[in-house]
């Protein structure tokens, strides 16, 4: 268990504040283009190997840097990883943030790795249910009790080692990640480098139609599929997503740190503006 479990496993409590967010986001959603709904459990659109033209990098850089400049009262870090070329760009804060619930993806990957090594099973009893149930609850519904159970099953040493094997520095006690580190985890997951195909598809399906679609997904136009994990805890508001079209796929991670939950609507608007700018390069 983390050194301070009351801090690291109470994201679910923050869902109470979704009502606070909803009123401010409603107007934004009316302006944002609507994305097509993805089918749970469907086949992920893996990155195309066909050459594609690069997006206008200078225009996108200017758009993202403009959003950051307009919102300098917040700490904002952005990582954008092009899955076709492998190029990674970072904007704003590059130091680690408290990852909040975005780190649940890493815990899920680590447990699936135990299963594939024969050291655990998705049918193992865990709490009142099975490990399979707890994985879906942790990722799709952001359940913190499920997170605690799965984290205990994996162990901090294993979590740290699995992240290091991906080239990512992760501190389970403090639950800290950089945006670039989170982007690498999602890129390797989507590219099939971490898990077998069945487990990859299962985990990605849990990252669709989650209990909070108000962040990156709300700013995407039709034709862009999204697999994501948000995080909301105290002064942290994050979203980490894979955005895919038939010809191009990217990972977009936006971590924000504000004063407290009262500025969640404003930081939601920041995430929307960045996601919309990135989506333009895809469509």
Domain limits of the chain?
5-282
CA of 166: how far to CAs of 12, 169, 183, 209, 246, in Å? 28, 9, 11, 27, 27
Radius of gyration of the chain (CA): 18
Q: What pLDDT sits at residue 48?
A: 36
Work out the pLDDT band at 78, boundaries 50, 70, 90. Answer: very high
Residue 152 tokens read as: 């205990």
Residue 42 pLDDT greater than 70, yes or no: no
Confidence band for 56, pLDDT divided at 50, 70 and 90 = low
Closest CA to 226 of 53, 16, 33, 27: 33
Tokens representing 265 are 């609507």
Q: What is the pLDDT of residue 88?
A: 97
By CB atoms closer than 10 A (0-12, 13-18, 19+), residue 218 is: buried
Quote the pTM value: 0.83
CA dihedral 154, 157, 158, 160 (to 10 degrees): 120
Segments of 100-246 assigned E as strands: 125-126, 129-130, 176-177, 225-233, 236-244
**Domain 5-282 belongs in CATH node 3.40.710.10:** yes
Relative to beta strand 236-244, strand 225-233 is antiparallel
Predicted local confidence at residue 54, as pLDDT: 40
CA 178 to CA 234: how far, in whole Å?
18
pLDDT of residue 53: 37
Q: Is 135 exposed, middle or buried (0-12, 13-18, 19+ CB in 10 A)?
A: buried
Q: State the pLDDT at residue 57.
A: 81
């Amino acid at each position: 268990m983390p050194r301070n479990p009351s801090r690291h496993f109470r994201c679910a409590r923050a869902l109470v504040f979704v009502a606070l967010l909803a009123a401010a986001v409603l107007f934004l959603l009316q302006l944002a283009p609507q994305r097509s709904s993805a089918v749970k459990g469907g086949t992920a659109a893996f990155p195309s190997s066909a050459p594609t033209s690069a997006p206008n990098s200078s225009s996108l850089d200017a758009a993202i840097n403009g959003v950051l400049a307009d919102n300098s009262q917040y700490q904002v870090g952005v990582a954008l990883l092009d899955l076709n070329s492998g190029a990674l760009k970072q904007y704003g804060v590059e130091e680690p943030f408290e990852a909040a619930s975005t780190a649940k993806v890493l815990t899920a990957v680590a447990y699936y790795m135990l299963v594939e090594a024969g050291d655990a099973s998705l049918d193992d009893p865990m709490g009142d249910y099975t490990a399979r149930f707890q994985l879906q609850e942790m990722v799709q519904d952001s359940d913190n009790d499920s997170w605690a159970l799965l984290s205990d099953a994996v162990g901090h040493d294993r979590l740290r080692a699995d992240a290091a094997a991906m080239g990512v520095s992760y501190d389970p006690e403090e639950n800290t990640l950089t945006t670039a580190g989170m982007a690498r985890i999602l890129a390797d997951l989507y590219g099939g480098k971490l898990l077998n195909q069945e487990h990859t598809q299962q985990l990605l399906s849990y990252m669709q139609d989650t209990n909070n679609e108000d962040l990156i997904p709300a700013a995407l136009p039709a034709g862009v599929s999204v697999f994501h994990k948000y995080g909301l805890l105290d002064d942290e508001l994050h979203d980490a997503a894979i955005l895919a079209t038939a010809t191009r796929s990217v990972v977009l991670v936006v971590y924000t740190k504000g004063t407290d939950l009262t500025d969640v609507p404003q930081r939601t608007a920041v995430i929307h503006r960045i996601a919309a700018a990135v989506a333009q390069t895809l469509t």
